[in-house]
Amino acid sequence: MSQRMRGFTLIEAVIVLAVGGILFGVAVPAWSGAMESAHASSARADLLATLTRSISHAAMAGSEVVLCPGNTSGCQNTSDWSGGWIAYADIDGNRQRGPSETLLQAEPALPGNVHLRTTVGRTRLVFQPNGGNAGSNVTFTLCDGRGPSQAKTLVLANDGRMRAGIPSAAAALACEQPASK
């Protein structure tokens, strides 16, 4: 009686590796895109929550609230919000967070390849007790590693109303570029 050998042939192993490589090649970009989308959605939700909290606090407390890119030590003079942002009650009206001014919210740096930029020159938003923000409308451009075609805008009007939109091609491209200091 002859005994039959069990196992894989070299051709079977190569076929399995080729199919696995193809599946891996398709799955990794899809997974990366899904992660970037999730990070961008989370950043948008965090920004909206901070805006809502800032407007509500200004109206309920009857004081100005400053929202700016920065961290708990203070604001940074930039239109790049990707490094995080803070909102605080500006009791003395000097637009600098003092030790006695309440920190309403602090958001950390954005994850992945997510970037958040505002209109050039808008490095701080100041919410008045009437719920509006001082200055002109501000446009936030949110982009991620999926490319400029996936960028979104959030426009905050002076009276506190928000609307979503699609950025211009130039704004979407600028969002993905390293921030200039």
Provide the whole-model pTM.
0.81
Q: What angle do CA 33, 153, 178 make, to 5 degrees?
A: 65
Which residues lie below 8 Å from residue 148, measured CB to CB, with a gap of 6+? 169, 172, 173, 175, 176
> What's the confidence (pLDDT) of residue 106?
95
Q: What is the pLDDT of residues 57-116, one digit of tens each?
A: 999 999 999 999 999 888 999 999 999 999 999 999 899 998 889 999 999 999 989 999
Q: At residue 137, does pLDDT exceed 80?
A: yes
Q: So what CATH class is 43-176? A: alpha beta
Which one-letter DSSP state was computed for residue 18?
Answer: H
Sketch the domain layout of the chain as residue ranges: 43-176
> What's the confidence (pLDDT) of residue 180?
59
> What's the confidence (pLDDT) of residue 2?
61
Nearest to 67 by CA among 175, 160, 167, 176: 160
